[in-house]
Chain A
């Protein structure tokens, strides 16, 4: 009894001593010793091949606390960055550049809250495998980070204040997510990009972001950022981009349409529900792909001064189907011309014809542009809005 008591005491003492003395606090780091990186840019110097990383870090002391000092908003000057700080470091490889950050930073960079990986277009065209490997291997990166290609340099889009968010990268991420929600351009995460890269046949994509100028108050020019398209990669190299219409077509095909609008010459429609399916068919070495799209929409605008009738509705449905089909087809044609399987047709064939796929896969580059694609769209107009007759009739 006494022995057990003693052994218990000793166990407790041992536990406490061990946890205090042995542990120390190796991994403990105070929040105010961290530099929270909100966006990471990656550029490559075409001449030397050197990598430049751009860190966009948050300056916590500049974030206004809601109850804190009032009137913090008065100096929200144009183009001045109060809440974020940009740092650049250059090295022969991504990690070399990362390493050199310590030469001019005062805090340890902390990547777990990074929202955006931005690539300069020149760099992306040279291949981004080095960067992808670094972030996949490194446990500090997360799978949800958005992949963005900048029209010029990565650092350009990381320094322009955008959106209403106080941190630029958060604003940019919100912008991209909003456009994905309204089915304009895809938002591509790190995980999705890697998956497309791994599949060999499917081409990775990323959001393309550019800058534009706007006239502001007092005749000043305001720089803003805007999503301009979808970057298409072949393996890890960017080979082209899809414009607005082609991006929509892409989204229709890969079943990424959630909300959004279909704009016809005579009417605008709001997408309520959409579903698409890629159905491949293999007929003695010829591949035929049918994209089946089911869509439901509501009427938002109608320019024809007529009372609504079922005939008009059916006409609208038909026009809508035609519009969607043409969007898809432009995207398909563009992808054929780039010879990049952005839709994952290859994987769809793989799913259905797994035996033949072994033979098809190595030749996919040759097969792909010769695929026959058909689009079948079923549309349905649900609601016509609050009025059932025209306000002004001709």
Chain B
């Protein structure tokens, strides 16, 4: 009843004829990207003055390479979140893909073919997730928790728990080399983020994500293929997780079955900090990317300030809760 009463007057309200700065401020906190960007810049300025090693090309390069797998996966995850789903299996898919690609390359499969096979493997896992969730109607938490365990388990079985190393040096090129001082990995990530952001904002196909996630029934009755779209989003997320697995294997020159433990939570945290909602219908790729950049910078800062690595996880959690709490407070006044 309290909720009902708070919506009633605003539903009757005329457009706010408030002063310009009021509406500008509203627009500023109304989007998630701008305040987040401002916060990132603020942290960068403070740190640049505190520690001369912070604002250096080497540090930023290391940071960007560090969060590349997370950011690549986040592009798919945020589209899936907007469409009202989510996927916990991405870290496990990443690890499985890394080990499979390493195995294939060691066994003499041509590298491009090995990569394609692994992306297809990712797509297959995504399709399984999608069908379990949309057709068999298993809760996404349960379904993807299941595929998480299966994928992680298979990776362990395949490698007997030991990293696959001894890869040819050509395999490490993408993960280790640079173009004009920018690592290939970072370039790939930026391309995926930019293309993903523009596509989610402007393409007819991805616009469906917002309809599906905002109101599944209305979307269905508007003639949108709800299940088909959700399955697509699961596949996309999983393919990107597989790609992240290949990139990480190339960087480490090894297929590691224990890689990326808990990465799914970082991806989700980044997306939510960037404005996505677990109930669907909201979020942007840019927001999710900035969320992940923010988490990346904060952990970099903590490393520089010699904060224990164990604290970093706790801080990520605190940031996540703070971001969502902030959002709830703003939203309560908006709608």
Is B a genuine binding partner of A?
A: no
Q: Which residues on A are within 8 Å of B, measured CB to CB?
A: none
Instruction: Report B's interface with A, CB cutoff 8 A.
Output: none
